[in-house]
Amino acid sequence: DVKVTQSSRYLVKRTGEKVFLECVQDMDHENMFWYRQDPGLGLRLIYFSYDVKMKEKGDIPEGYSVSREKKERFSLILESASTNQTSMYLCASSPPAGGAETQYFGPGTRLLVL
Amino acid sequence: GQNIDQPTEMTATEGAIVQINCTYQTSGFNGLFWYQQHAGEAPTFLSYNVLDGLEEKGRFSSFLSRSKGYSYLLLKELQMKDSASYLCAVRDGDYKLSFGAGTTVTVRA
């Protein structure tokens, strides 16, 4: 079974703090993704990575950065947290391109920025 | 941009059938996925369609019409545990999925 784990289930931070969200997958997947999920908006892609040290912007990258130094780990960084970044953050991984291979999701981190 | 529409909420009775529609307008098409997400949990994969037609998996079926930009997820013999959000997602290239906002299905006894 594919396992995607995220460092925290719940996190409370203050405006202006630097926040790190960690994601680890154990299936040697090339692709990793960070989404945020908000009511009425669904999942929106922040960044994704298709290889170590490679990253591409998703649909809403502003205010975020990412790091992928090892294949199994993909970190999302909020350089200076703001209240509008309060959300559920979901990490996912998948094998290389195409076919019926789905993305596998972690349990999510619910971030509250005060 | 990508536009994926699905109803916000649906309610049905235990044992009944519910059909969740999804329409999409995307810059490319390389498969359509349905996921189930229980409250507070991660989305889990339900089905995948890339060719037109019906894919059946037990109580769940998914249909795709590429020419119409349309899919539906059919849930038969509804059970209480089927109360969840159902997410429609389109892959428009090799990697990226674009998601609809999700449909919350409530199953009543």
pLDDT at B92: 84
pLDDT at B1: 62
Contacts of A45 in chain B (CB under 8 A): 96-98
Distance CA(B102)–CA(A98), nearest Å, equals: 23
Structural tokens at position A67: 């790091």
B49 Cα to chain A: minimum distance (Å):
8
Distance CA(B36)–CA(B41), nearest Å, equals: 10
- Residue A60 touches partner B, C-beta closer than 8 Å: no
Interface test with A, best of B8, B20, B64, B95 (most A CBs within 10 A): B95
pLDDT tens figures, B71-89: 999 999 999 999 999 999 9
C-beta atoms of A45 and B31 within 8 A = no
Question: Poorest-confidence range of A70-74, A78-82, A106-110, B96-100?
Answer: B96-100
Mean predicted confidence (pLDDT) in A44-68: 95
**Residues A74, A19: contact at Cβ < 8 Å?**
no
Distance CA(A111)–CA(A90), nearest Å, equals: 11
pLDDT tens figures, A103-113: 999 999 999 99
pLDDT at B69: 96
**How large is the greatest C-alpha to C-alpha distance in chain A, in angstroms?**
42
